[in-house]
Chain A
Amino acid sequence: MSSSAALAEALQEEMSIDETIFIIGEDLISHGGIFGQFKNLSEKFPGRVIDTPISETCIIGAGLGAALTGMRPLVDMHFADFVTCAMDEIANQTAKIRYMFGGQVKVPLVIWAPDGAGLRAAAHHSQSLESWFVHTPGIKVVVPSEPADVKGLTKAAIRDDDPVIFFQHKKLFAKEGPVPEGEHIVPLGKASVKRSGDHVTLITYGSGLYMCLEASNELARMGIEAEVIDLRTLKPLDFDTIARSVKKTNRAVVVHEACLSGGFGAEVAARIGSELFDDLDAPVIRVAAKDVPMPFSPTLEDFVLPKVEDIIKAVQQVTYR
């Protein structure tokens, strides 16, 4: 099943058991979402898939206000890049309301944001902005990779009583993978070891997973066994799984598609450095996009994005091989 079908399956299952769930955003009905990700849902649940005008702030607000008054909305952000138009609603309102009001209310809101580069979509349709929200207390941040996780995390995010921003990579929509039928929940805040190995830990999420798995196969041919951790949720962060692995391998490389400076890799590297310093045989290295807005031309975009070779090089560096 594709990643996008896994999302639709999760939503269909959840919407049929909870009638307070609705989906709201731009251009959802005629094509089932601009990526077809909500296909057939508006027919199956009439009135519960709602098209909006192009008004990002009020789209998020419509979800937030509804979440505060008994509903469980999923807001579609069209492209993750457009969160900038709704930043007050997400960062100042959604993330803070429960805390600011002393825990009086729950905010069961999911903001679904298709992100990521590689589609030659240039600087306004290609960003990976997860670290902004990790830096905003009060909102959970989910970045799944494989279809099974997309399904399981979608169900968990919808059932969660706290606000969740859910980034799904556009280039992974078509990626196929096995997806368990029915009640398959992946709890928020639990990482997954997607490959076992003793020599180095690759810590990643989202599109980085596929790069890391490809790099691991190459590395295995070189006699280096990498352990690959897919974080799946960045907030809350499952640091226990990271620590267990790094204590075994004594080496870590963090991989993400978002640009390097201030990216989530910095947080992971800092925590490993301060909490696992004695277990390290080499400095933690980050593999990430270069610090420029995403350019359009294929030669430029490919140069900016992190590549499998970059991961291999980083691993060679930390294993001194």
Chain B
Amino acid sequence: MRGEKLKPVIDMKSIGLEMLLSLYRKMVTIRQFETLAGEMFAAGKIPGFIHLSIGQEASSVGVCSVLRPDDYITTTHRGHGHVIAKGGDLKRMFAELMGRKTGYCKGKGGSMHIADFSIGILGANGVVAGGFPIAVGAGLSIKLRKTDQVAVCFFGDGASNRGTFHEALNMAAIWNLPILFVCENNCYASTTRTSYACSITHIATRANGYNIPGLSVDGNDILAVRQAADEAIARARRGEGPALLENKTYRRRGHFEGDPQKYRTQEEVAEWERKNDPLFRFAALLRRRKILTSELENEIKEKVDCELKEAIKFAEESEFPKPEEALDDMFINL
């Protein structure tokens, strides 16, 4: 498993009906969450700026579906999907996006800084490649505490050009840490094409430089992502060390909402949407296997919509923090 494209032979029966539908439901939840967040941002209900992960749901859901609640993840500025996939609370997420007191960070973090330490989410990060060093620390801590947890570090193609990527892969390799580095290669780092900014075609080949397994998969095929992550996570849990997984996908929205996207054509985006949407692909597969009927599909969508509406209502009805609360939560011991 070294820098090659995996042609997965996936036994859907062994995954089980319940898990297949749960994967689908999670993907729908993320898609709808992001779509609604985009609408709310456009309507001026979310301050600041947000980065959406529409089109990348297979990566977040596929990887997190093989994690335990006590496993760790670090995520990125484009992190809503990872947080949802790891089990984040939709109400507290929307409340945080809207700067409310009931949000995950009491309104101090916003979209780019959501964390939930109770389920191992060590935080999204406003700094590209800021998650690598923290993931190394989590992996080291697991090793020192002698547990069988694992840490997953999500990052983008752009982050793989920062020094922290290289420091982290090397450290994880020499100490044999239980870390899965998951690159979501979505073809763009902000406005810059991956093909311009990287000297290699597959980010996963960079694993060779650190003597760890590296694997590129079709990141819009959730079952391929899940299988690759499952193997790498199981390996890490057994104490066999870190790996690098590259999920090849596509960033359908701009870098941030409102991005004029002068660096690409709308035809390019439309083609990805038409031919390679991870959610449509998975739904089509489930329909072909008669797992998903249109009745069930509607039922799932309605349930998800209802849950999200409740979450938004909760956020909208929540209070803003009092101005002087800006002075709380810095030090524990004063």
Contacts and interface: CB of A to CB of B under 8 A. Distances in A.
A53 interface: yes
Interface in B303-326: none
Contacts of A60: 133
Contact of A98 (B137, B139, B329): B329
Contacts of B122: 65, 68-69
Given A61-B136, A66-B137, A102 B171 contact: no
Contacts of A53: 167, 170-171, 174
A23 B125 CA distance: 26
Given A92-B127, A101-B108, A102-B108, A65 B136 contact: yes
Given A52-B171, A102-B103, A71 B141 contact: yes
Interface stretch (B8-16, B79-87, B109-117): B109-117
Given A57-B133, A58-B136, A64-B134, A162 B331 contact: yes
Interface residues on B, range: 35 or more
Contacts of B163: 57
Interface in A230-277: 236
B266 interface: no
Contacts of A99: 108, 329-330
Interface string B146-185: 0000010000000000011001101100100000000000
A199 B171 CA distance: 56
Contacts of A52: 171
B108 A100 contact: yes
A285 to B, nearest CB: 31
A89 B144 contact: no
A88 interface: yes
Contact of B331 (A55, A57, A67, A140): A140
Interface residues on A, range: 35 or more
Kindly name the residue among A55, A58, A64, A97 whose own CB sees the greatest number of chain B CB atoms within 10 A: A58
B333 A162 contact: yes
Contact of A64 (B72, B103, B133): B133
Kindly name the residue among A92, A99, A103, A162 whose own CB sees the greatest number of chain B CB atoms within 10 A: A99
A212 to B, nearest CB: 28
30 contacts: A50-B140, A57-B163, A58-B133, A61-B134, A61-B168, A62-B171, A64-B133, A65-B122, A65-B133, A65-B134, A65-B135, A65-B136, A66-B138, A68-B137, A69-B137, A71-B144, A93-B130, A100-B108, A101-B105, A101-B108, A101-B113, A102-B107, A102-B109, A104-B116, A137-B330, A138-B331, A161-B332, A162-B331, A188-B333, A236-B334
Interface of B: 72, 103-109, 113, 115-117, 122-123, 125-127, 130, 132-142, 144-145, 151, 163-164, 167-168, 170-171, 174, 328-334
Given A47-B144, A70-B145, 14 more contacts: A53-B170, A55-B170, A61-B136, A62-B140, A64-B133, A66-B137, A69-B145, A93-B127, A97-B123, A101-B115, A104-B105, A104-B117, A160-B333, A162-B331
